[in-house]
Amino acid sequence: MSKAFASRGRSTFAFLLAALGAMSAPAVAAETYDDKLISTPGTPDVVAKGLEADGYALGVLAYTWGYPLVRMERIARSYTDVPSPKPATSYRAPLDQIGWATELATPDAKDMPTANNDTYYMSAVVKLDQPFILSVPDTHDRYYVVNVFNMWQELEHYIGRRTTGTKAGRYAIVPPKWTGKLPDDLVRLDVTTDKVWLWGRLHIAQGEPVEPVHALQAEFKLEPLDGKPVTNETLPPMPSIEGDEFGFLKQLAFALKLNAVKPADEALFAQFARIGLTSEGFDPSKLSAETKKGLARGLADGVDDAISSMAATAQIKNGWQWATGLDSFGFNYPVRALVSGPYLGGNGEKEAMYPTRYTDSRGEALTGANKYVTRFDKEPPVGAFWSLTMYDASDKMLVDNPIARYKIGTDTKGLKRRADGSFVVSIQADPPVDQSNWLPAPKGNFYIILRMYQPSEAILSGDYQLPQVDKQ
CA distance 60 to 297: 8
Q: Which of 103-112, 265-274, 428-437 has the lowest mean pLDDT?
A: 103-112
Q: Is the pLDDT of residue 14 over 60?
A: no
CA distance 92 to 89: 9
CA distance 205 to 412: 9
Q: Is the pLDDT of residue 19 over 60?
A: no
Please state the rounded mean pLDDT for residues 358-376. 97
- Give domain limits for the chain: 81-224, 355-471
Please state the rounded mean pLDDT for residues 213-235. 96
Q: Is the pLDDT of residue 395 over 70?
A: yes
Q: Which CATH class is domain 81-224?
A: mainly beta
Fold of the CATH domain 355-471: Jelly Rolls (2.60.120)
Q: How far apart are the first and last CA of the chain?
A: 97
Looking at residue 229, what is its pLDDT? 93
Instruction: Please answer whether residues 133 and 170 qualify as being in contact, where contact means their C-beta atoms are separated by less than 8 angstroms.
Output: yes
pLDDT band at 23 (very low <50, low <70, confident <90, very high): low
CA distance 431 to 441: 10
10 Å Cβ neighbour count for 253?
Answer: 22
Rounded to 5 degrees, φ, ψ at 389 are: -115, 145
CA distance 355 to 114: 13
CA distance 42 to 260: 38
Q: Is the pLDDT of residue 419 over 60?
A: yes
Instruction: Tell me the one-letter amino acid at 385.
Output: F
Contacts of 375 (CB under 8 A, 6+ apart): 422, 423, 424, 425, 467, 468, 470
The predicted-structure confidence for 243-256, as pLDDT tens digits, reads as follows 999 999 999 999 99
Q: Is the pLDDT of residue 407 over 90?
A: yes
Average per-residue pLDDT in the chain? 94
pLDDT band at 427 (very low <50, low <70, confident <90, very high): very high
Q: Is the pLDDT of residue 186 over 80?
A: yes
Q: Is the pLDDT of residue 358 over 90?
A: yes
Q: Is the pLDDT of residue 20 over 90?
A: no
Looking at residue 26, what is its pLDDT? 63
Looking at residue 25, what is its pLDDT? 57
Alpha helices in 132-259 (DSSP H): 211-217, 247-258
CA distance 173 to 128: 8
The predicted-structure confidence for 48-97, as pLDDT tens digits, reads as follows 999 999 999 999 999 999 999 999 999 999 999 999 999 999 999 999 99
Looking at residue 17, what is its pLDDT? 44
CA distance 42 to 185: 67
pLDDT band at 310 (very low <50, low <70, confident <90, very high): confident
Please state the rounded mean pLDDT for residues 328-338. 96
10 Å Cβ neighbour count for 422?
Answer: 13
The predicted-structure confidence for 187-215, as pLDDT tens digits, reads as follows 999 999 999 999 999 999 989 999 999 99
Please state the rounded mean pLDDT for residues 12-23. 48
Instruction: Please answer whether residues 333 and 309 qualify as being in contact, where contact means their C-beta atoms are separated by less than 8 angstroms.
Output: no
